Amino acid sequence: MSKQCPTNECYALIGEKDVFCYKCGSKLVKPKICLCKRELCKADSFCPECGRPAK
């Protein structure tokens, strides 16, 4: 699976595990997902649903 670079002028296809876009160098923001499948925001230290610590 791949995703698109979020940079407006770039639109390169990027692998799921990539942290930077190979074409424009932008850092790719990825949400953290808890084991209970709840999406965590960057500021979360613990899952608001089940209380597990965010990694």
The span from the CA of 39 to the CA of 32, in Å, is 6
Place of tokens 């209380």: 51
CB 20 within 8 A of CB 27: yes
Average pLDDT, the chain: 73
Mean pLDDT (whole number) for 29-37:
69
Which pLDDT belongs to residue 6? 64
pTM of the model: 0.38
The span from the CA of 14 to the CA of 6, in Å, is 10
In this model, does residue 16 exceed pLDDT 80?
Answer: no
Which pLDDT belongs to residue 8? 64
The span from the CA of 23 to the CA of 13, in Å, is 9
Q: Which residues pair with 32 in a beta bridge?
A: 40
Q: Which residues pair with 51 in a beta bridge?
A: none
